[in-house]
Amino acid sequence: MKYDISSFPRGVELLRNSLLNKDTAFTDEERETFGLEGLVPPRVFSQEIQLMRVKENLNRKTSDIEKYIFLTALQDRNEALFTRLVMENLEELLPIIYTPTVGRACIEYAHIYRRPRGFYFATKYKGKFRRILDNWPQKDVRAIVVTDGERILGLGDLGANGMGIPIGKLALYTVCGGIHPAYCLPVVIDVGTENDELLKDPLYIGMQHRRWRGEKYYRLIDEFMCAVKDKYPHVLVQFEDFGNENAFILLERYRDKMCVFNDDIQGTAAVALGGIYSALRITKKPLTEQKFLFLGAGEAGIGIGRLLVEALKQEGLKEEEARLRCWYVDSKGLIVKGRNDLNPRKQEFAHDHPPVGDFISAIKKIKPTAIIGVCGQKGAFTEEALKTMAKINDRPIIFSLSNPTEKSECTAYEAYFYTKGKAIFASGSPFPPVYLEGKTYISGQGNNVYIFPGIGLATVAFMIKKVPDVFFLEAAKVLSQQVSKQDLDGGRIFPGLSNIRKVSLEIATRVSELAYEMGLCKLPRPNSIKDHLKSLMYDPRYEVYV
């Protein structure tokens, strides 16, 4: 992004602008030009020395939540330095700025609140959304991540405290996808909360009333979407951590009208499918011979199942045959025809089968090649479940995808130990390597960060009109292709995070090519899509302003 220095803020105002601030790295000429002399220490430092300082101070923090607060303060002060720090220490810092620490940060958000970040559309502003949107200082927003805080990770209703999620996701858009932070807008739509602790908390930052429901709720969301479309006609809107029912309804309501997607439904599906493709490179078995048993039938589970059906259809199965490869267990047992308590989404995957009351029995009856945990119940993949999977499969696929870590269906150690090292394991939150009988197992983290930054980069770069499901199917294939033979030999089915920008670029390239084939791009096609995308990716190294 090129700046017009004639319109630059000066003095203290420049130092308080996180997008432009370089702190002690302003050159002598810049200090004189922008009225900074005397406002910062006289010595000019390089960004590399600044990185040494912030890393040293970060390492002094004794808890992950303290590190989160420190990094948030750095981001509020200096976006470029924050981004470069995270980029160069991604394996270490991703769990701090996002899962699992962001979950704890959201729980405590009102108590660790320091300064405003993001935009709050609250019920008290009903009828004013378009007007107050003009209060946002950036005139060219290309990517919005929005939540209403009803289902934050596996932690439930956190109301306006859920702002930590859009902030974290958009930081990853920049770090992993190269989208300039000036283009990013984190949003909470504050419709109240059902969390009694928050309603009683004198420090809670949101509206202290019960959640709006029904038509009143949907009219408010409509007002938000209309305001966004009017002010930012080319923007991508990513829905994040809405309640199950609203998540599906809102996706269907807007997917053909605007450029939107739901990361919990579609992003999770793509990363899971990418992991399955990689796992099959290890087992050497085709997708059409797999049988999947899901524990949990909410946004993530149904989203994965739907994308699997599309993938199986591409492999030659008819739709009904493809659906028969996906089975679900919810709180009432196996989802089968004849149950009268199923919503329409569960009915899509209800098959003819006698009732089965529990997960272990379902494994023994269905004999899946893969179990996928999306229920948010710690320990739901029990010792018996894991041993049963190892008994009926040479290489059982075990995906424990619930976040944060304390909600994971099993740990990496449990998966490898109870299957005697046979499991092909992936989890939603990171686990350390497992050392077992002289062998080291490095599990994959099925994090949506492998998917949504690449999708976002494509849509921002070429002003894509909408985001069809086929984008996520192709993204899953590209993701699997980025897993090296060395990764697979070590049991790892996702690429290392050190390669995340390359992964995002490859996904963005394929999605952009597909978007042009489908006539979805508003901008002319460049000679080289990949080169154009690469040229747009944000470089956090400081620019020289004068």
| DSSP code of residue 251 | H
> Measuring CA to CA, how many Å separate 243 from each of 148, 155, 221, 404, 437?
8, 12, 14, 17, 43
The rounded distance, in Å, linking the Cα atoms of 543 and 209 is: 46
φ/ψ of 329, rounded to 5, equals -120, 125
Give bridge partners of residue 121 from the DSSP assignment. Answer: 189
169 is catalytic: yes
- Using CB atoms within 10 Å of the CB of residue 315, give its burial: 0 to 12 exposed, 13 to 18 middle, 19+ buried: exposed
Of 277, 268, 265, nearest to 477 by C-alpha is 277
8 A C-beta contact, residue 259 and residue 142:
no
Query: 236-239 and 333-334 as β-strands: parallel, antiparallel, unpaired?
Result: unpaired
- Whether the bond into 100 is cis, omega within 30 of 0: yes
Helix extents (H) in 284-380: 299-314, 319-323, 344-347, 359-366
| DSSP code of residue 449 | G
Q: Which residue is associated with the tokens 């004013």?
A: 128
8 A C-beta contact, residue 512 and residue 469:
no
Contacts of 422 (CB under 8 A, 6+ apart): 390, 393, 394, 395, 396
Residue 454: both structure tokens together: 């690449």
418 is catalytic: no
The rounded distance, in Å, linking the Cα atoms of 86 and 171 is: 9
The rounded distance, in Å, linking the Cα atoms of 519 and 480 is: 26
Of 22, 67, 169, 422, which is the active-site residue? 169
Residue 68: both structure tokens together: 């989160």
> Measuring CA to CA, how many Å separate 405 from each of 63, 103, 207, 271?
16, 10, 29, 18
Q: Which residue is associated with the tokens 């004639």?
A: 6
The four Cα atoms 67, 70, 73, 75 give a dihedral, to 10 degrees, of -60
The rounded distance, in Å, linking the Cα atoms of 294 and 369 is: 11
Of 98, 217, 416, 418, which is the active-site residue? 98
The rounded distance, in Å, linking the Cα atoms of 40 and 49 is: 16
Catalytic positions: 98, 169
